[in-house]
Amino acid sequence: MSQSVDFRKTIYELVKENPAVAQVMQELGFKDITNPAMLNTAGRVMTIPKGASLKKIDLDTIKQVFQAKGFEVIE
């Protein structure tokens, strides 16, 4: 079964569905993703594209990393 990551969902939803998403995001520079308080507050309204914009991380790079780790990226 392949994994997918839907960029329209909140980070909270994605991590609850698949905790591996948090590991990939942490590698990409989203250090706060491992903080349960941040995940439960900001993560409930933040999507990956919004987070990428705030952290100034290239969205295409994020897509490539998820794809390299076996995720199907849904936009």
Question: Which residues, including other chains, have CB under 8 Å from residue 75's CB and lie 6 or more apart?
Answer: 7, 8
- pLDDT(5) > 90: yes
Any domain includes 26: yes
Within a domain: 16: yes
**Confidence (pLDDT) at 2:** 74
User: How many domains, the chain?
Assistant: 1
Looking at the predicted structure, is the pLDDT value of residue 9 above 90? yes
> Tens digits of per-residue pLDDT, 13-56?
999 999 999 999 999 999 988 899 999 999 999 999 999 999 99
Point out which residues pair with 73 in neighbouring strands.
5
Residues spanned by the domain of 61: 3-70
Residue 52: CATH number of its domain: 1.10.3910.10
Show the CA angle centred on residue 64, arms to residues 33 and 21, nearest 5°.
30
Report yes or no on 36 lying in a domain: yes
Identify the pLDDT of residue 1.
46
- Give dist(CA 27, CA 72) in Å, integer: 18
